[in-house]
Structure 1
């Protein structure tokens, strides 16, 4: 059964009230994680970046991914949590494993670790880390996953690998429990990347548990055609950097999970038929939220499509 996750809003100004920044931003992100749990969503995902450049001279800061995940773990009981994705070379592996272990202490079996190779050289420089060559960054993903499993043993969280290029797909094929493709792939994009993933998968892995599959999709739901048009108008004003100014309404609504409840239902059903296990929904833009009502509309649409919308309660001592 397909499950539904939320790309949690947590960057400066990427909330329905754009002035939410700094400490208010971090507290608001935590509140939205709790709201997602109350709504019955299966998972929340936090991106692992120091900032997001939404336009020239417009840099939006973020709370630390694993610190925020620890806070979410401590203040929720059922919803799964995860990073989407942590650039493996950006953090010292031993320190990252220590952080993950602490979050797992609080969340039990609810943690998923998304790993990627990293791409933003400026971010590495700001963190005082060397920006390695592609081959070294890919190798870092494999080494980090191996260290997580060696240090945490049978209780190690699932490792997801995110990406679409051949190199990272090869890494996912060899070591991942799950694979994520974002943002807004078409079904043809997904099938093409999945073919590369399957081709790269060692024969020994093909006979074991299959790799879980997820896609990240921009999600905007209107109650009907008129309502969708109104939300489109509001979203264009809200999105920073004018990123939607050159896009027509019809081109925009062809993306991801954008449309009326019937359209969203049909698209979720289509992704499920392609073998997708999990959909990460970005409500307006990745890791932003322009409209509070979208959380409830998404939950209703997911239930209508037969998606699992409530994570299994955990029973580990100290977390129930």
Structure 2
């Protein structure tokens, strides 16, 4: 059965109400993690960036990923949590392993580690670290994964690696427990990347069936057609930088998991048939939230998928 995760809102101002910066932002992120647990979602994910530039001269800062994960681990009991993704070259690997170990102590087996190669040179400059060449950043992902496993031993959390280019897919094939593809791949995009991943796993002498796979999808649910139009209008006004202004309703609707409850359920079921084990849902935009009710609507959609799969024979995974 496909499980559902939430791309947790945690950047300045990317919440439904006004304000939401500094301490209020960080407390709100923690509150939403607890709300996701109460709603019955499987997981929350925190991105690992110092900021996000939503428009020119509009930089939204974030609490530290691993500090926030520690707080979530200490104030929840059931829901899984993880980073999506930590840029391995941005952090000293020994320090990261120590941070991971502490969060794992608090989470009690509920932690997943997402790693990536990093891409934002400005972040590296801000923390006084050089921005390595691509090959060195990819090697850093492998070294960091190996160090974490050596330090934590049999209790090391699963390691997910995010990315879509050939280089990172080869790293996924060699060392990852799971692979994440974000944001908003189409099924055709996913199949093409999966072919490359399967080829890389074969070269690495790892069985292709051993890899857990997830996708990150923009998610907006309307209770019916009219309600979906209303939420589209509200979202378009809310998203910073006018990023949706040039999109038509139909073009926007074709993305990810956008639609009525039946449409969302059908798309989730289709992704499950493609072998996706987990879907990370961005409620309006990655790591933002424009509408509190979306969490409950998403949880209801997940329950519908669970009910459907429990009453029907499991569909055969589509071959890439």
TM-score with structure 2 setting the length: 0.95
Please report how far the alpha carbon of residue 204 of structure 1 lies from its aligned counterpart in structure 2 after TM superposition.
3.0
**1:187 aligns to 2:172 (yes or no):** no
CA distance in 2, matches of 1:130, 1:17: 38
Q: Is the 8 A contact 2:219 2:283 kept in 1?
A: yes
Q: Is the 8 A contact 1:218 1:283 kept in 2?
A: yes
**1:166 aligns to 2:166 (yes or no):** yes
Q: Is the 8 A contact 2:88 2:141 kept in 1?
A: yes
Please report how far the alpha carbon of residue 305 of structure 1 lies from its aligned counterpart in structure 2 after TM superposition.
1.1
CA distance in 2, matches of 1:262, 1:28: 30
CA distance in 2, matches of 1:145, 1:203: 16
Structure 1 residues 307 and 243: alpha-carbon distance in aligned structure 2, compared to 1, 3 A threshold = farther
**Partner residue, 1:315:** none
Over residues 35-62 of structure 1, what are the superposed CA-to-partner deviations in whole Å (9 max), with x where a residue is unaligned?
A: 0000000000000000000000000000
**Partner residue, 2:121:** 121
Number of equivalent positions: 307
Structure 1 residues 70 and 307: alpha-carbon distance in aligned structure 2, compared to 1, 3 A threshold = farther
**Partner residue, 1:155:** 155
**1:206 aligns to 2:225 (yes or no):** no
CA distance in 2, matches of 1:236, 1:293: 17
Q: Is the 8 A contact 1:11 1:25 kept in 2?
A: yes
Over residues 15-71 of structure 1, what are the superposed CA-to-partner deviations in whole Å (9 max), with x where a residue is unaligned?
A: 001311000000000000000000000000000000000000000000000000000
Which secondary structure state, in structure 2, belongs to the residue aligned with residue 44 of structure 1? strand
- Unaligned 5+ residue runs, structure 1? 309-320
**1:261 aligns to 2:246 (yes or no):** no
CA distance in 2, matches of 1:162, 1:109: 21
Over residues 242-283 of structure 1, what are the superposed CA-to-partner deviations in whole Å (9 max), with x where a residue is unaligned?
A: 000000000000000000011101100100000000000000
Over residues 171-191 of structure 1, what are the superposed CA-to-partner deviations in whole Å (9 max), with x where a residue is unaligned?
A: 001100000000000000000
Q: Is the 8 A contact 2:173 2:204 kept in 1?
A: no
Q: Is the 8 A contact 1:90 1:129 kept in 2?
A: yes
Higher deviation after alignment, 195-204 or 63-72: 195-204
Please report how far the alpha carbon of residue 124 of structure 1 lies from its aligned counterpart in structure 2 after TM superposition.
0.4
- Which consecutive aligned stretches of 4+ in structure 1 deviate over 3 angstroms post-superposition? none
Q: Is the 8 A contact 2:8 2:287 kept in 1?
A: yes
Please report how far the alpha carbon of residue 203 of structure 1 lies from its aligned counterpart in structure 2 after TM superposition.
5.3
CA distance in 2, matches of 1:46, 1:129: 22
**Partner residue, 2:19:** 19
CA distance in 2, matches of 1:60, 1:18: 14
Which secondary structure state, in structure 2, belongs to the residue aligned with residue 152 of structure 1? helix
**Partner residue, 1:316:** none
**Partner residue, 2:272:** 272
Q: Is the 8 A contact 2:174 2:204 kept in 1?
A: no
Which secondary structure state, in structure 2, belongs to the residue aligned with residue 263 of structure 1? helix
**Partner residue, 2:228:** 228
Which secondary structure state, in structure 2, belongs to the residue aligned with residue 183 of structure 1? coil
Over residues 192-231 of structure 1, what are the superposed CA-to-partner deviations in whole Å (9 max), with x where a residue is unaligned?
A: 0111000001453217x61100000000000000000000
RMSD: 1.1
Which secondary structure state, in structure 1, belongs to the residue aligned with residue 180 of structure 2? strand
Over residues 96-145 of structure 1, what are the superposed CA-to-partner deviations in whole Å (9 max), with x where a residue is unaligned?
A: 00000000010011000000000000010001111000000000000000
**1:103 aligns to 2:103 (yes or no):** yes
